[in-house]
Structure 1
Amino acid sequence: MKLETIAKPGRTDADDLVPSRYALSVGSLDVLIISDGVLPLPTETMSTNVTPDARAAWFNGMFLGPDMFDWALNVLVVRSGEQIILVDAGLGGQFPGFPRAGQFPRRLEAAGIPLEAVTDVVITHMHMDHVGGLLVDEVRKRLRPDVRIHVTSTEVEFWKDPDFSLTSMPSPVPDVLRSTAAQFVEAYGDKIRTFGNELKVAPGVTAKLTGGHTPGHCVVRVESNGERLTFAGDALFPVGFDHPDWHNGFEHDPEESVRVRVDLLREAAATGELLVATHLAFPSLGRVALDGDAFRWVASIWDY
């Protein structure tokens, strides 16, 4: 995977108005952000601990809602030496009602990266919109036999008997999450490599346990030649900059999620590093600035 190849792909699928991928370099490492599409969610899932009026005011100010909004889905690809690392795998196509999600496999191909080239997959956590893409038959058949799939041991253990008592998800979701996590472990059990607090996946690419959103949630840091980018997974949501204390309905430990989110935002503001997150609007690339005691998202200017 070369930056000049993925930045200027050979073709664009007819149903994509623009190529839904964005290439950049972090030092000597090549990085590609791919949109897996969007899925519609109730606005209340972004703010389960605030009043309907406060929620409506924020979404109105963002020209979103009032009742539903499109939740972005992004995955990351990093080339480090001979390794090509996929971070998360999107939703997949097996869930009815989400026809605009599950796009990453064909968009990866359109970027000139065959699935067979992926050497490593890092799963930030085992929710269905992060592992579902690996359960698509075509993806499973085409991944190389020696692919390494990295997940924290805490995450794998959690999904043996998951606790949903602190979440506020739509009623059908917990059962789907349970079954999808179980299918993922069954499908890839011999390829899953668990790790503890931190794992060096490749030179310049490190996965680090954060907990919060799920007990085994991790982020992925890409560092080279003094530059750094963090893929935050589900530690950050669109509302999290203005209101980092607002709970997300999919968080298994909302209070711990707030602590993780604030720590991550403070660190990003201090380092000036680039951030990417699963559910920020594509290409989800920017920096965090401190505005008094508040955080401010500064989206990167597209380089094209």
Structure 2
Amino acid sequence: MTQAEANPRTMGQQETNLGLSRALPNGSGTEELVPSRYAVQVGEIEVLVISDGVLPLPTKMLGHNVEPKERAAWLDGMFLPPDAFDWSLNVVLVRSGGQTILVDAGLGLDPDLNLPRAGQVVRRLEAAGIDLASVTDVVLTHMHMDHIGGLLVEGVKDRLRPDLRIHVAAAEIRFWEAPDFTHVNMPPGFPDALRAAAKRFAAAYRSYLRPFDEEHEVAPGVTVRRTGGHTPGHSVVRLASGGDRLTFAGDAVFAVGFDHPDWHNGFEHDPEEAARVRIRLLRELADTGEQLVATHLPFPSVGRVAADGDAFRWVPVFWDY
């Protein structure tokens, strides 16, 4: 099975295995002019990267510990606007060993934030023909609202299976009981929204939670490992099968982090530790040559990491049709 099966005309068996519907000219979801899902094969493990949309944020979020002129120079070199741009929001659906695993759940729909181009993951799962009741496990890289919000959309919980397992680091659960925002640099309103979302999530899904300490195998070849940094319980998901490997890095890596891994992101609760985590992870990925997917890299965010002196270089994959 190859990535070419992401093409609606050739999805064939992978569409069947993932429960995806064939995108016919008059089918659901075909009003979108930009693709919102992309299939990847990791050995015997099937992966579907799904776009939850985009989140417009100030560009100063990319490196609030550096001089504005440094940040402006990087943005100019990347042909990005100087003041605000759209952050991608990506989740992945994984099929391994008879389990269907959703890694992160997107932003959901928070009417107070007025973010109409985000929170698309539930609709896009439906457009792919994926029944929420078929999801056996959810893995949360952390409990920021753009990773748990999809589970808080009205009616979603009722459509999930009663024996659903939600895997999240125990340190993350403890952190959100009394979160510390003293080192973040977020736009106004976000700290209150993050607190509220985490509180709602913990109340709604406490009985579904399967906390782990440092590392846990969710399914054959699917392992979640706590890294800390971004949040105390932030975790990455490693996929390994038949010699192939892929890491879903959550919020450990942002687009600017390849050129400037020491720049602090405004949503990092421990920016210095987050930078150390990022550098260790990027060095590891450069050494192994495995594929990388991350929440806020441009969709479909599938690529590899190359070492470039003290920095790194992002090498996007060629789309496979």
One-letter identity of the residue aligned with 1:87: V
One-letter identity of the residue aligned with 1:97: N
Contact 2:21-2:127 within 8 A present in 1 as well: no
| 1:267-278 alignment runs, 5 A limit | 267-278=284-295
Question: In structure 2, do the counterparts of structure 1 residues 212 and 303 end up closer, same or farther at CA, with 3 Å as the change threshold?
Answer: same
Question: 2:91 aligned to 67, 75, 98, which one?
Answer: 75
One-letter identity of the residue aligned with 1:29: I
Q: Distance in 1 between matches of 2:271 and 2:259?
A: 17
Contact 2:165-2:209 within 8 A present in 1 as well: yes
User: Greater CA deviation, 106-115 or 47-56?
Assistant: 106-115
Q: Distance in 1 between matches of 2:28 and 2:273?
A: 42
Q: Which residue of 2 aligns with 1:209?
A: 226
Q: Distance in 2 between matches of 1:124 and 1:167?
A: 18
TM-score w.r.t. structure 1 length?
0.97
One-letter identity of the residue aligned with 2:88: A
Q: Which residue of 1 aligns with 2:158?
A: 141
Question: 1:258 aligned to 245, 261, 275, which one?
Answer: 275
Q: Which residue of 1 aligns with 2:22?
A: 9
Contact 1:12-1:19 within 8 A present in 2 as well: no
Q: Which residue of 1 aligns with 2:191?
A: 174
| 1:11-160 alignment runs, 5 A limit | 11-95=27-111, 96-160=113-177
Does residue 1:298 correspond to 2:315, yes or no? yes
**Structure 2: segments with no counterpart, 5+ residues:** 1-11
Paired positions, count: 304
Contact 1:30-1:80 within 8 A present in 2 as well: yes
Displacement of 1:291 in angstroms is 1.9
Question: In structure 2, do the counterparts of structure 1 residues 3 and 100 end up closer, same or farther at CA, with 3 Å as the change threshold?
Answer: same
Does residue 1:289 correspond to 2:306, yes or no? yes
Displacement of 1:157 in angstroms is 0.2
User: Greater CA deviation, 271-280 or 165-174?
Assistant: 165-174
Does residue 1:225 correspond to 2:242, yes or no? yes
User: Greater CA deviation, 265-274 or 11-20?
Assistant: 11-20
Provide the secondary structure at the position in 2 that maps to 1:190.
helix
Q: Which residue of 2 aligns with 1:236?
A: 253
TM-score w.r.t. structure 2 length?
0.92
Provide the secondary structure at the position in 2 that maps to 1:129.
helix
**Structure 1: segments with no counterpart, 5+ residues:** none
Q: Distance in 1 between matches of 2:65 and 2:291?
A: 29
Q: Distance in 1 between matches of 2:175 and 2:310?
A: 34
Please tell me the root mean square deviation across aligned C-alpha atoms, in Å. 1.4
